[in-house]
Amino acid sequence: MPALLEITDVKRAFGGHKAVDGVSLSLNEGEITCLLGPSGCGKSTLLRLISGLETIEGGTIAANGVVLSGKGIHVPPEKRDMGFVFQDYALFPHLSVRDNIGFGLKHLSVAERDERINSLLATVRLSDKAKLYPSSLSGGEQQRIALARALARHPRLILLDEPFSGLDAHLKSEVREATLNILETTGTTAIMVTHDAEEALSMGHALALMNEGKIIQTGTPEECYFNPASLVAARLLGETNLVPGKHMGDHITSGFGSIPAKGPAAIKLTLCIRPEAFVVEDAATDLTSEVLVTAYRYHGAYCDLVLKAPNGDEAHAHVSSLRPYTVGQTVHVRLEPKLVSVF
């Protein structure tokens, strides 16, 4: 897929603090790229640099081969052909849903404008709310208006900055799904900032992991989750247990069982084990370890166990809730190699 936006070695500092420190990233046409990183790592700044709301101090940003930000070049935001969805939606409270969506369409004839608004209202399933004002709508509905407004001018790129952070947990997954649907059916290219790993993994066609102003890994969600490039990347993508491991022939052993060796032999290894990597077996095998259950919490879909290995190492495990567990019992566990990274 061709790159729509090419970011090359982009830099931006504030008072000596390198907020964006030499970032290179390609956004592919028709894809949603999720930019995931901890608070303060520079995600919003990068988005603002792409939008043109902020100026770069080094590098280039080009769309379809045309430089938008570069040495002596700064195309203003309104000429970049991009749509924005902000954290707080930034809707106009004094305008109806219809007028919010049509705000950027004043260059069209009345008939063309009406047709475009009607089509967008249908896309975001708000046709029956067209005459209402934002204050009388739910958070999820307001988010869909913001999305429709951002899509109104058929922008080449949509920038979303934490678009679901204002929504209740139960509404979040529904609105995420609806947004994904709209972006995919309209074939829109988008970059979405989030610090929620689950959101990034479930919504992104591509992921860009960011830390301390730098992109530390890019790839599909599966590539990043199963093969994190570093401990920092692994931790960004979800809960992990860090446990020492040892090379023993063609295996790596740990207090929680053995996995086939990965990578070159090394004296000191750290295993990064996802909680769902633990498999409880009925009996001991070459790959299992007998561990003690020191804490147990039922979560419905799974059980959260704290396990203590014979060597004293501890780990959190998410295992099937079909089997009963009690604190103080011992179980035979092995590790699912795909969910273990070795550093």
By the criterion CB under 6 A, which residues form the site for ligand ATP? 14, 17, 19, 37, 39-45, 195
For ligand ATP, the closer CB: 45 or 241: 45
Q: Shortest approach of ligand ATP to residue 48 CB, angstroms?
A: 7
Q: What is the rounded distance in angstroms from the CA atom of residue 326 to the CA atom of residue 14?
A: 53
Q: Shortest approach of ligand ATP to residue 254 CB, angstroms?
A: 34
How many Å is the Cα radius of gyration of the chain?
24
Q: What is the rounded distance in angstroms from the CA atom of residue 168 to the CA atom of residue 152?
A: 26
For ligand ATP, the closer CB: 42 or 275: 42
Sign of the Cα pseudo-torsion (92, 106, 104, 115, in order): positive
For ligand ATP, the closer CB: 19 or 145: 19
For ligand ATP, the closer CB: 201 or 259: 201
Let me know if 237 is exposed, middle or buried by CB neighbors in 10 A (0-12, 13-18, 19+): buried
For ligand ATP, the closer CB: 42 or 134: 42
For ligand ATP, the closer CB: 39 or 185: 39
Residue from 217, 255, 219, 267 nearest 340 by CA: 255
Q: Shortest approach of ligand ATP to residue 14 CB, angstroms?
A: 3
- For 13, other C-beta atoms within 10 Å of its C-beta total 14
Q: Shortest approach of ligand ATP to residue 196 CB, angstroms?
A: 10
Q: Shortest approach of ligand ATP to residue 68 CB, angstroms?
A: 19
For ligand ATP, the closer CB: 39 or 135: 39
Parallel, antiparallel or unpaired: strands 82-85 and 157-161: parallel
Please state whether 305 falls in left (phi above 0), alpha (psi between -120 and 50) or beta: beta
Describe the crossing of helices 110-123 and 139-151 by its angle, rounded to 10 degrees.
130
Cα-based angle 235, 236, 237 (whole degrees, multiple of 5): 90
Q: Shortest approach of ligand ATP to residue 31 CB, angstroms?
A: 21
Q: What is the rounded distance in angstroms from the CA atom of residue 37 to the CA atom of residue 27?
A: 17
H or E stretch covering 164: none
Q: Shortest approach of ligand ATP to residue 15 CB, angstroms?
A: 6
For ligand ATP, the closer CB: 50 or 120: 50
Q: Shortest approach of ligand ATP to residue 207 CB, angstroms?
A: 15
